Each structure stands twice: as structure tokens, then as C-alpha cells.
A and B are shown apart, each in its own frame.
Chain A
């Protein structure tokens, strides 16, 4: 595959230019251990190129960005469930990729224990990219682009799985979203409207136990009472932990950027926030729910629902989805393929 790129954009960056990861003031300490994978501009750019390159999939048809689009806060909106090579449909919805440096486990069931190894899962999954690591590394070594990018990132052209994986992780670590209206209120740069304020109180009362601010997740695994979809028969966390208590528990997702990241839930069953609230607002509790935070049920009047949605919309960060350093990195002069 010859993909002519504005290589200058990527390669000019000098090896070792450190990238300062800055923690938003109102955020806790990240859990990612940066000392084992110190960020640099060149490595992040390499990771970004890899993230957007369909060279990663076996038939060069799919990139990470095919399922994780910047405009959807790196989720996937065309399809409720992920859409891989040869139109194969997976069993889960692609989550938004936001603030991953604070997330201890990945995937809806926590199957992946470190951001560095996350890429291995889609890369080798037959319904996603269907590739294998050795094949991919051989391709990268033969490409016209990557030896130079690895050289500027690591000081030599050697392309190893560790460098490959850590570079993609570096790019994903930069996907920090902390500039929504909510964040600006926290920084005292603006104030909530009366409606948003009411919504915030309702949020703190009913939702914050699990969707804990400021990340809007406590990253635990919970059962929020969704009825099982019999076609998918996805029992969630238990498949990984093998602990029967984890049946139908899924990772609590962040509520940031919901405007961009629909559809919602692990199988993308809801497309609108009103449907989500209809699911939660069951006075007396949803029959399937065992989680203490939801067991006694939530009552929300129609007005409450409008207020709560108004608050949830303050979590949208348009500067994140339109951030030019997160977008497609290649400038294609020619699309000729051999």
C-alpha cells in the first residue's frame, strides 16, 4: 500500500520532545504509570498515525478510527454494535475513548488490564481487524512510512510490538476531555443555568454513586438493570472474573460527551437520553436490579427528566471532538494502491 502522506507533518518532530501530560485541576491523579512509557510528541504522533491507519487490519479495510471516530468522542455511532472487517458485527458497542489515563480496566467487562495491551484485542479479533501481531509488524517494517516514524520516536528504525503498543497507548492517553461547560463551572469560568443546577442536584442524588464526578464513572462493574438481550446473551463481567456475583455487571461508562457517543449501553440499545432515563426512572425499582444504588428505584417527574438531561448536556466538550491534534493525520496526495 502506498499512502503518500504529508510526512513532514509527522516526521519533522524531533525525537525526545517531551509531552507534558497535564492533569486538569479538578481531576484526581491518573492511574496510568507514565514513568514506564514517558510521553513524547513523536511517539504520540506515531500512535496517532497507527490509530488511523487501516494497515492494521488483515485486509487493510479497517482502522481503530473506523470504530472509534473523533467526531463521536471516539465511539461508533453508525452501528449499535461494532462493525469490523468484511462487515462482521461484534457483540458490543464501541465505547467512547475519553480520559483513559484514569481508567484501571478496559472493555465493558474489564477484560483488558492495561491500556498498552488494549490494541491486541481488536487487532487479532476475527470480527474486528482479523490480523496477527507478527504479520502486522512485518508490514510496518516494509512500509514506506513507519520506519521513519519509529526512528523519530525511538531513535532507531526498529519496529517491535512493545513500541507499537506503547505508541498507540500514548496517543490514547492524550485524549483528555476536560473542557465541557461542567468543567468550566468547576473552574469558576461560568455558571450553570437554573435548569442545569436542578439537574445537577438530581444527578448527585441518583447517579453519582456510579457515574462519579469528575470522570463520571467510578470504573466499577455494576448491574444497572438492563434486561438481557437474548440474541447476544452477554453476561458481562462474570466471563472474566468467573465470579457468579458479576453476572450482568458491566463497566460503568463515563457520561462525558454523550451528545456525540450515542447509541448507549454495552449493546447500543438506546439512541436517546430520554430512553436512558425511562429505563432508570422506575419508582419502586427495576425488577432485575440488585445494586443498592438503584434497588429502591428512582422517581423522576417529566420536569426532572428535562432538568437532568440539561445537566448531562453540560458534559459535552466540543473542543474535544474538534481538537485538530486528535483527527486524521494523513494528507493524502494520492490514493493509488499497488
Chain B
């Protein structure tokens, strides 16, 4: 394998060591190395995040349920201000099923964003499109449009993560995601179902906190 470029694309910037207690911020970003691993190019890595909830010692101290659509290839973005002395937070990957049946919506949920399936009602919660290279150097594209809210194939997932005082980055580790064996078996998934649920399980596991 020949690597023309070896660039580490940390899509978040180096953090300045400031600790402004009252306004610690939660950011979101994707992490991947283009060219170094099996990832040649990431075209799209977009996710719906909703139901942000902050906790202190198990008690809810802040909530923001409004869904956000985040295009992670655009770089690091702010998610929310962290309430002071929060020690954990949780979020949902996707849109609650109670919202999915509400009809025409606006803002982040406007179908103009292209994250609403038109042939079958429901939101795509993750669009991941990339060009990868396998061990033999063969190029292949993966296209994942992942969603589905109806049982038994509800693909909406949540995660609970601990945070320390200070700014925090919620990182989606795409390298790890692309290294999963599942990728080679399911390069194209664009409808709800079993595969979409397994991919959702993989995606939610690749979110972690870096501080």
C-alpha cells in the first residue's frame, strides 16, 4: 500500500487550557485519519443528536431535548454549555419516535435537509459516506443512511458518558467504526432493518469524551 499523504485530521482544535467554570462547553467532532489507515476520504458524517441531559450525582441538572443535525466533516461544533458541576451527560442518537409521527416539521427537522426518507416516513439519524481501502488495497465506498423508528427495528440509541470539570469534546471515532468487520459485510445500508440496528449499535459505541 502506498500512502501519498499522511495527515491526521483531528477535526477539533487543540484545546486551550482555560477553565472558565461557569461556561464550560460541550463540543462535538469526528476523529479519523485520512490516508493513514483504511480511510481514504470521508464525504459525509452527519448525525442527529437529541435529548441532551446533564447530571450531577445521578440527578438531572440540565436538559435540552431539541434535536440538532450536526455535519461532523465541517469540523468541531458547539453542542451546549455544560451546567456547573455536571459529572455526566446523556444524549440520543436520532429522533424520538413520538416526533417521527408528527408530520411536517421545521428547523433541524425540516425535510429539506435530506435526512427524511420520502418513500417511507422517518428520519435518517446518521449519514456516513466514505471511501475506504481494504487490506489488499482495493477501494470501496461505504454509504450508510441509518434510521428506522418502528419496533422491532428501532435504531434510536442513547449513551451516558462521564465528564470532568472543563470543556469537553464528544468524539465520534470514525477510524474505529470503519475498522469494524461489519463494514466490509454491509457497505451499503440505506433503509431501516436489522443491519441499520447493528450499525446504530456500532456508531453509539464509538462516541466518547475527550477532555
Q: Chain A residues in contact with chain B, CB under 8 A?
A: 36-37, 111-117, 120-121, 123-125, 133-134, 137, 160-162, 165-166, 169, 240-242
Contact = CB atoms under 8 A, between A and B. Distances in A.
B7 interface: no
Contacts of A115: 103
B156 to A, nearest CB: 15
Interface centre among B105, B118, B153 (most CB of A within 10 A): B118
Nearest to A105: B121
Interface stretch (B63-71, B109-117, B162-170): B109-117
A37 B110 CA distance: 16
A38 B104 CA distance: 13
Contacts of A162: 104-106, 110
Contacts of A113: 100-101, 121-122
Contacts of B122: 113
A121 B120 CA distance: 8
Nearest to B107: A162
Interface centre among B100, B103, B111, B120 (most CB of A within 10 A): B103
A161 B112 contact: yes
Contact of A124 (B118, B150, B192): B118
17 contacts: A36-B102, A36-B103, A112-B120, A114-B102, A116-B104, A117-B118, A120-B118, A121-B118, A121-B119, A125-B118, A133-B111, A161-B112, A162-B105, A162-B106, A169-B103, A240-B120, A242-B153
A117 B105 CA distance: 9
Interface residues of B, number: 22
B100 A134 contact: no
Contacts, number: 65
Contact of A134 (B101, B112, B152, B194): B112
B77 to A, nearest CB: 23
Interface of B: 100-106, 110-112, 116, 118-122, 150, 152-153, 192-194
A120 B111 CA distance: 9
Nearest to B101: A113
Contacts of B121: 111-114, 117
A117 B103 contact: yes
Given A121-B119, A125-B119, A114 B101 contact: yes
B148 to A, nearest CB: 9
Contacts of B150: 241
- Nearest first, the 8 A-B pairs at minimum CB distance are A116-B103, A165-B104, A114-B103, A113-B121, A116-B104, A120-B118, A162-B106, A111-B120
Given A113-B101, A114-B104, A161-B110, 5 more contacts: A113-B122, A116-B104, A162-B110, A165-B103, A165-B104
A161 B108 CA distance: 12
Contacts of B100: 113
A120 B116 contact: yes
Contact of A161 (B102, B111, B152): B111
| Dominant SS among interface residues on chain A | helix
Contacts of B104: 114, 116-117, 161-162, 165-166, 169
A35 to B, nearest CB: 12
Contacts of A121: 118-119
Contacts of B116: 117, 120
B96 to A, nearest CB: 14
Nearest to A116: B103
Interface centre among A37, A113, A116, A241 (most CB of B within 10 A): A113
Contacts of A133: 111-112
Contact of A137 (B105, B112, B193, B194): B112
Contact of B192 (A36, A169, A242): A242
A305 to B, nearest CB: 38
A160 B122 CA distance: 19
A169 B105 CA distance: 13
Contacts of A166: 103-104
A165 B120 CA distance: 16
Contact of B193 (A111, A125, A160, A242): A242
A134 B113 CA distance: 9
A241 B103 CA distance: 19
Contacts of A117: 103-104, 111, 116, 118, 121
A160 B109 CA distance: 12
Contacts of A125: 118-119
Contacts of A37: 103
A247 B120 CA distance: 17
Nearest to B194: A242
Contacts of B106: 160-162
A164 to B, nearest CB: 8
A116 B102 CA distance: 9
Nearest to A37: B103
Nearest to B105: A162
Contacts of B102: 36, 114
